[in-house]
Structure 1
Amino acid sequence: MANHKLDLGEFDEIDYYLFAIHTSLEDYRLAFFINQILPINLSKSKNEIQINIKEGETSFSRFYYDDIESGLSWNLIQNKNEVIQYNKINNQNLFSNIHMEVSVKVFLLPEFKKVDYFLKIENNNDTVNGSKIQLLLNTINSISAVYIVDTNKIKSKNNLIF
């Protein structure tokens, strides 16, 4: 009887482009401008990306487009969000029993704290010209910077699995 082995290295293969986008635009406006520049139709996904961290649970907005002809999946993902924590302070003074709301910033990819959004293009079969997409995204006025992220520098790759 033959033995079958699975090589886990095969599953670690990265088959996507990841663009970091720095902008002050809201997510829906950015998706609108990207739809005008690129031949895609990003739309708001009901399946937001849920992340559980020590500060609490949060979700990141996601815009999605599935290009059936070329077999590509496009995701525009929010990188920054806030978690509101409620702290109760029990002191025996004038301000006793105070409930405080504390807002904590959280990131989808914590090693890229300055990035506002990521554009992830999945199932890359070498039909995508990354530098051309980068040039087109840089033509949007409200975007200050766009660059391709080196996926080897991402420590929290599991947050990009959705």
Structure 2
Amino acid sequence: MAIIKLQIDDFISVDYELIAIHSSLEDYRLAYCINQKLGVSFEKSEKDIGIQIPEGKSHFTRFIFDDEEHELYWNLIPNKTKIITRQTQSPSLFEQTELDIATNIYLLPEMKKVDYLIKIEQVDDFFDADKLVDELLSIKQITTAYKIELNKLKSKNNLIF
């Protein structure tokens, strides 16, 4: 009887594109600009993306668009959020002070300079990500945009939501 080995990688297929965006706009303004330029309809999702870290739980807001015509599912996510932790210090025997410390948390820590990510799910061979990047670059509030090579990401598990 023959032995058949199955690798877990045999079942994993990457069916999404990831685009990095550098912009100083707030997330809702960026979603509005993209809606106007690309003719999509991003809406704020009720479900945030949560990531557990040693300092606590962090939440990333998300805007979604379900493109039923092309059978694509779009996510616009900020790469950075802040978490505030409270620490108590005792500078003297009779005095205690509480400090609020803000810590930046990144969805993709290896890409700290990226402000936003667009994750487009269920893409096929006909999807042209380069054309999408060119259209994003035509928005004057976006400094730069580019495709992210998925095989170079270390924290791609954070993109499972």
TMscore range, shorter length: over 0.9
Q: Which residue of 2 aligns with 1:129?
A: 128
- What amino acid does structure 1 have at the position aligned with 2:157? N
Query: How far apart are residue 158 of structure 1 and its match?
Result: 0.8
- After superposition, the CA RMSD in angstroms is 1.8
CA distance in 1, matches of 2:156, 2:10: 16
| TM-score normalised by L of structure 1 | 0.92
Q: Which residue of 2 aligns with 1:152?
A: 151
Query: How far apart are residue 93 of structure 1 and its match?
Result: 5.1
User: 1:102-154 CA deviation, whole Å, 9 max, x = no partner?
Assistant: 00111000000000000111111123211110000001111111000011111
Residue 82 (str. 1) matches residue 82 (str. 2): yes
**Structure-2 change in CA distance of 1:65 and 1:87 (3 Å):** same
Q: How many aligned residue pairs are there? A: 161
Q: Which residue of 1 aligns with 2:114?
A: 115
Query: How far apart are residue 55 of structure 1 and its match?
Result: 1.8
**Unmatched tracts of structure 1, length 5 or more:** none
Matches within 5 A, 1:15-94: 15-92=15-92
Runs of 4+ in 1 over 3 A off after TM superposition: 3-7
CA distance in 1, matches of 2:82, 2:11: 32
User: 1:52-89 CA deviation, whole Å, 9 max, x = no partner?
Assistant: 11121110010001112221100001101111010001
CA distance in 1, matches of 2:5, 2:25: 48
Query: How far apart are residue 5 of structure 1 and its match?
Result: 6.4
Percent of pairs with identical residues: 44
Q: Which residue of 1 aligns with 2:11?
A: 11
Query: How far apart are residue 91 of structure 1 and its match?
Result: 3.3
